Structure formats: structure tokens, C-alpha cells
């Protein structure tokens, strides 16, 4: 167990070295990585030779990494390409464009909602998930081109297809599973079969409407969250650009 703790600490230090040097130019990056990895190895071997426990060595390794972060950032700032702040600001402007928001927000929101609804169904395979996402993306493309006749025809056809399928499913459930005979209902009201079918069908239709309302609410919430995230991301990129300029 102590050796495992030391291995985790070394892996943490190595990952941090690879992460924060990734933005530097090639020659400086490789030189810095070689220097720090060699220093890490020497530090561990020196403390091991002094008889320190693996847990103590692991603690020192993690502390060295955490205390050295300010120096690492100070080393990285001058190494970053001079065009990086401009790239960040350009990305910020792209995220703030109305066109980008109109495209990205529905895509992320709808895909997130679809996956959230179906992720708890263990019978769905990755192929089902892929099909659901493809349908969602196709609907988004059609909505983006809804001013064109061909897109309107497809959307109208899809809408009527959905309505027909929903009605068919509701009727099939009402006839096959006979939910109107549930014990929670007053059986004296349901002695006549036509009346029972009518009440059962109305109840199932109400449940279907409630389901669609719930999906609409989740979609609206997803859109709000995605919109806020994109706007916050744009502001964060501008702050990063300003911070890099200050450091350099």
C-alpha cells in the first residue's frame, strides 16, 4: 500500500509536468520536461536512500508539485505563443455571436436532454443512443433550414408521423394493458366496456400530454444552462487573454 501511494504521487507529478508544459514550443517543452522528470527521480531516490518511508516521500512529492505551481506558471507565460491572447479573444467573439448561439445551444441542449432521458434504460445499446442522437441532429438541421420548402415538408411529415405514432401507442397501451382496470379507480364506474375504454384512452392521452410537457420543460432548462455556459465561456476566454497579456 505505501508503494502504491508513492506511485500515485509520482504519477500525479509527472502528469502535471506534461500538462503545464504542453503549451510551450517544442524545444523548450522537451528540455523542461527532461529537467523536471530527472529532478523528480533524483528527489525520490535521495529520500529513499535516507530511509524515509514511501508515504513520507509521496507527501513531499505532492507538496513540491503544489508549492511549485506559481513558478511553473511564471515559466510558462513567456513561452506561450504571442498570438494566444488573440486566439482566445477570437474564440470569445465566436462564442458570443448570435449565429453560434443559435446553432450550438439547441445542439448541446437537445443531445443532452435525449441522452439524459434514455441513459437510465439498460435495454438501450450504443447503437440506440447513436440513432437517437442522429435523429436529434437531423431535426436541428431541418429547423435551421425551416424557411426552405423541402425542410418544411419533411418537418410537417415528421410532425404528423409523431402524432400518429403517439396516438397508436396510447391506444395500444390502453387496449393491451387495460390501465383503466387498475385498483386505484372506482370499479363501479367501469363496468361498461365502451365507457372503460373511453376513460382509459383519455387518461393515457393525458399522460402522453404530460410527458411531452415534461420533455419541453427539460429542453427549456437545457437551453438556459447551455446558453449561460457559452456566455460564461466567452467571458472566461477574454479573462484568460487579459491574464496572459499581464503575465507576459
Domain count along the chain: 2
Q: Is the pTM of this model over 0.85?
A: no
Same domain, 241 and 168: yes
* Predicted confidence (pLDDT) per residue in 114-144, tens digit: 555 555 555 656 666 666 666 666 766 676 6
pLDDT for position 112: 61
Across 122-137, b (16+ Cβ under 10 Å) vs e yields: eeeeeeeeeebbeebe
Residue 223 in contact with residue 110, Cβ under 8 Å?
A: no
* Predicted confidence (pLDDT) per residue in 74-97, tens digit: 787 776 665 566 666 676 776 677
Residue 133 in contact with residue 113, Cβ under 8 Å?
A: no
Same domain, 126 and 233: yes
Same domain, 67 and 174: no
- Of 79, 113, 136, which one is at a domain's C-terminal end? 79
Same domain, 95 and 141: yes
What DSSP designation does 182 have? -
178 has pLDDT over 80: no
Same domain, 241 and 151: yes
- Of 52, 79, 106, which one is at a domain's C-terminal end? 79
184 has pLDDT over 50: no
Amino acid at each position: 500500500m505505501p508503494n502504491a501511494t508513492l506511485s500515485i504521487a509520482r504519477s500525479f507529478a509527472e502528469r502535471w509536468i506534461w500538462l503545464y508544459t504542453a503549451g510551450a514550443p517544442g524545444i523548450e517543452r522537451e528540455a523542461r520536461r527532461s529537467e523536471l522528470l530527472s529532478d523528480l527521480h533524483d528527489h525520490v531516490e535521495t529520500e529513499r536512500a535516507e530511509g524515509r518511508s514511501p508515504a513520507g516521500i509521496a507527501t513531499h512529492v505532492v507538496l513540491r508539485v503544489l508549492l511549485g505551481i506559481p513558478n511553473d506558471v511564471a515559466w510558462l507565460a513567456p513561452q506561450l505563443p504571442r498570438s494566444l491572447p488573440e486566439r482566445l479573444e477570437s474564440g470569445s467573439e465566436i462564442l458570443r455571436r448570435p449565429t453560434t448561439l443559435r446553432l450550438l445551444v439547441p445542439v448541446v441542449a437537445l443531445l443532452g436532454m435525449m441522452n439524459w432521458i434514455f441513459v437510465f434504460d439498460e435495454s438501450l445499446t450504443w447503437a440506440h443512443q447513436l440513432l437517437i442522437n442522429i435523429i436529434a441532429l437531423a431535426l436541428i438541421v431541418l429547423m435551421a433550414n425551416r424557411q426552405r420548402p423541402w425542410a418544411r415538408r419533411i418537418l410537417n411529415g415528421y410532425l404528423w408521423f409523431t402524432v400518429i405514432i403517439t396516438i397508436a401507442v396510447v391506444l395500444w397501451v390502453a387496449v393491451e394493458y387495460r390501465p383503466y382496470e387498475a385498483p386505484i379507480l372506482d370499479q363501479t364506474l367501469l363496468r361498461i366496456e365502451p365507457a372503460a375504454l373511453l376513460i382509459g384512452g383519455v387518461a393515457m392521452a393525458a399522460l402522453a400530454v404530460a410527458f411531452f410537457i415534461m420533455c419541453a420543460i427539460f429542453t427549456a432548462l437545457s437551453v438556459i444552462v447551455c446558453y449561460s455556459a457559452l456566455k460564461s465561456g466567452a467571458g472566461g476566454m477574454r479573462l484568460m487573454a487579459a491574464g496572459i497579456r499581464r503575465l507576459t
